[in-house]
Amino acid sequence: MQRKDLLCPTSGNKSRANHIAAFGHQRAKQRDRISFRYPNLHSSIMADAIESKIKNYRTAPFDSRFPNTNQTRNCFQNYLDFHRCNKALSEKDQDTSPCDWYQRVYKSICPSVWVNNWDEGIEGGSFAGRV
């Protein structure tokens, strides 16, 4: 599961190695186990939690992946996550309303010019990001 990548080393730095978790492979395994036994349970729990979060939404919360002043990556990552989430959930035939969280966040952070350009790119097939 862990690829020793010369250019992106994860070993040798204790604090970072201790914190690597959650977003990647392990979460996928855990998700598959839950969704195998209870096909609709995980998605419905998630949908309720997210629905309440979306209802109480004020602004984009602090994201520890992007702690610095430059929030460009934050904006682009949420835009990508919105479209990836839509694609993944509609492929599994689940309700795509939890993905609205990512839409709220990117609409809060991203300049509207960028969003318009990217939307046109997605419609026309010229969008450069991996969705």
For another protein, the binding residues (CB under 8 A) are: 3, 5, 7-10, 13, 16, 19-24, 27, 31, 46-47, 49-50, 61-68, 70, 73, 77-78, 81, 84-85, 88-89, 98-99, 101-102, 105, 130
Give 57 or 114: the residue with its C-beta nearer to another protein.
57
Query: Please, what is the minimum distance in Å from the beta carbon of residue 93 to another protein?
Result: 13
Give 71 or 115: the residue with its C-beta nearer to another protein.
71
Query: Please, what is the minimum distance in Å from the beta carbon of residue 110 to another protein?
Result: 15
Query: Please, what is the minimum distance in Å from the beta carbon of residue 65 to another protein?
Result: 4
Distance CA 100, CA 81 (A): 10
Interacting residues of 97 by C-beta distance below 8 A, sequence separation 6+: 47, 50, 51
Contact 118, 106 (CB under 8 A): no
Query: Please, what is the minimum distance in Å from the beta carbon of residue 45 to another protein?
Result: 10
- Nearest of 91, 15, 100 to residue 50 by alpha carbon: 100
Contact 115, 103 (CB under 8 A): no
Give 3 or 37: the residue with its C-beta nearer to another protein.
3
- Nearest of 66, 67, 75 to residue 104 by alpha carbon: 75
Give 26 or 120: the residue with its C-beta nearer to another protein.
26
Interacting residues of 77 by C-beta distance below 8 A, sequence separation 6+: 65, 66
